[in-house]
Amino acid sequence: QDKTLWLLARATYGIGESLSADRGVTWSELKPSTIAHPSARFFVGRLNSGNLLLVKHGPIDKPIGRSHLTAYLSRDDGRTWTGGLVLDERNGVSYPDGVQADDGTISIIYDYSRTNAMEILLAHFTERDVLQGKPASHKSALRMLVNKASGPGQ
């Protein structure tokens, strides 16, 4: 809200962050974020409400492996995170990406066990679900199978 740009990036140590106060002309040195995460893809986006959505592995403050893909909300541009809706607790979930529909439904697509089960899955939920930490809306549906490959390259 103060016009500072905030960059989050995947790094070897987890999530790195950098700030720019001049519309992206210059940036601070990339440093470890306070958001604990393995060196894996995460998703962050601004919702229609103005809140930020973060989808990452595990709790905000505890690094874990590629399990417990969880959604969080921030009402203060990423200073604090609330909620915690676990989308998929299994080991081997990764590469979340998302979008929000006009009706407020959030959709996150991700993969599971890319070398064994080879599944692409989808989760639908709302901000209320994230805040309550459980699917509470009639729009909620987790771990929906989108595609299952039968072998490498399929």
- 68-77, 95-104, 143-152: lowest mean pLDDT where? 143-152
The per-residue pLDDT for range 21-69, each reduced to its tens digit, is 999 999 999 999 999 999 999 999 999 999 999 999 999 998 899 999 9
Whole-prediction pTM: 0.92
Query: How far is 134 from 152, CA to CA, in rounded Å?
Result: 34
Do the beta carbons of residue 15 and residue 35 sit within 8 Å?
A: yes
What average pLDDT does this structure show over 98-103? 97
- Sketch the domain layout of the chain as residue ranges: 1-33, 39-148
What average pLDDT does this structure show over 104-130? 96
Which uninterrupted H or E stretch holds 127? helix 127-132
**What's the distance, CA 146 to chain centroid?**
19
Contacts of 47 by beta carbon, 8 Å cutoff, 6+ apart: 53, 73, 100, 106, 127
| Cβ neighbours, 10 Å, residue 135 | 19
